[in-house]
Amino acid sequence: MNNLPTITILGAGYVGLTTGSILAQAGYQTYLIEPNQKRLATIKSGRSFFFEDGLDTLIEKGLKTKMLLPTDSYAHSIPQSDIIFSCVGTPDNPDGSPNLEYVFEAAKTALQYLKPKAIYVQKSTVPVGTGNRLIDIFAKSGLKVDYLSNPEFLREGTAIADTLYPDRIIIGGDSSAAISTLTDLYRRVELNRQAIAELSGIANQAKVCRYISTELSSAELIKVTANAFLAMKISFANSIAILSDQVDADVVEIMDGIGLDPRIGTAFLRAGRGYGGGCFPKDVSGLVSSAQDHGVELKLMRSTQEINAKMPGYIIDKLKTRLTTLKNKQIIILGLSFKAGTSDTRMSPGIALANICAKNQASITVFDPIVNREDLDQLDTSTRIVDSISELPANPDAIIIATEWPEFCNFTPTQIINLLGKEGILVDAINAYNPKSLAQYDIRYIGVGRRS
């Protein structure tokens, strides 16, 4: 066995499983604690319980080399570990504040087995001030534990590439020795990243990572602030899209025009059905709630939430105006994951669009190339789910493209006509198509802030 630190990851979700699988390939003995027995069994079989391109290969290799050790036992893993990464979930409470039950439960359970001078690294997204509360808990135990905040910036669908080729590594805390140890860990990942990328089938990148050490509170705020800002850009684009619909302008042209300004850029200025997933909605609501706790009202972020929440309904209202009513209309929804490249349906705009149509008594058929049926319990029970495009009903009244899967964004005009029939309407909820090009084929089109 090498002399590298032994690692334990608490929680095998998107962050934990990806991080643990990569650390194992970088040469670290990595325990992966997952209390959910169904998920644990899937991981032990060499597979991820969610879709992430290239991850299964890393898991399988880690199991074979015995460098990745999935378990549900704190007692078996924590006493042997020098660095513990907390990657547990922080779901929303009903009031929008983050539920920290798992964060504190994981820390208190780990504390029973931590060895002296262990480093406890918080990767879960938590409100500012959480770290100080956990430091107090560790201090009262009498055990010397170094606590660091190390927020993650991986994106579902590109989690491996984002972990291997990050823009920056943020480490917040007071212990320079612990920060140095964690920095060394990530530098070792950097040294091995080309081989790990090749193993997982991810393209190698020539990217320089910046290592930034900060105050603990700053690190806690950086992650949620970054996501809140990106969410705000999406809602800004959508607010201009709504205006564009009223003045016969094209929001894609507008966003391209302002995005050429290097101070602005084009990223996340894509108007459409709004953002979803497990990060943006939660991080925006968590930031608003955290600010309220400290007597600060973030009106800009509340507006971001309000605009995002209205977009699915706004799009369906445009369709209702064209069709007069949705009652008994045949509507197809293409895409149920919140974005392409992932099977995650949390806060999915596609599901929101389907449910609004169902509420209007439409007949709904949905298809997604990756999402599993068991992850669609949020769908209205009247919805029909099919497993391929060939199973979609002929001559629908409308097809709504809700997720930017390549197979949905690259239809030829002939394919669109074959799917729609003569009278159907293409509702482009992600603005993937050029309405002027489709007009040449007499395809009826509704976009978001597009001239149609």
C-alpha distances out from residue 387 to 105, 188, 315, 383, 443, Å: 40, 42, 25, 13, 26
Give the separation between CA 357 and CA 337, rounded to whole angstroms.
17
Which residues are paired to 273 by β-bridges? none
Catalytic residues: 279
Q: Would the CA dihedral through 124, 54, 56, 191 be positive or negative?
A: negative
DSSP 202: P
Contact 69, 32 (CB under 8 A): yes
Amino acid at 320: K
Q: Would strands 83-86 and 68-71 be described as parallel, antiparallel, or unpaired?
A: unpaired
**If we measure between CA atoms, which residue out of 404, 365, 408 comes closest to residue 387?**
365
d(CA 398, CA 416): 11
CA distance 293 to 68: 40
CB-CB neighbours of 212 under 10 Å: 13
How many helices and strands (H and E) does the chain possess? 16, 14
**Is the sign of the CA dihedral 81, 83, 89, 90 positive or negative?**
positive
Residue type at 319?
A: L
399, 419 in Cβ contact below 8 A? yes
Token digits of residue 362: 């439409």
Return all residues near 195 (Cβ < 8 A) that are at least 6 apart. 25
Which 3 state secondary structure label does DSSP give 91?
coil
CB atoms within 10 A of CB 155: 15
Terminal C-alpha separation, the chain: 65
Q: What is the DSSP string of 11-62?
A: --SHHHHHHHHHHHHTT--EEEE---HHHHHHHHTT--SS--TTHHHHHHHH
- Which ranges constitute the DSSP H helices of 156-209? 159-164, 176-200
User: Under a CB-based contact definition with an 8 Å cutoff, are residues 131 and 157 in contact?
Assistant: no
Q: What angle do CA 45, 47, 48 make, to 5 degrees?
A: 135
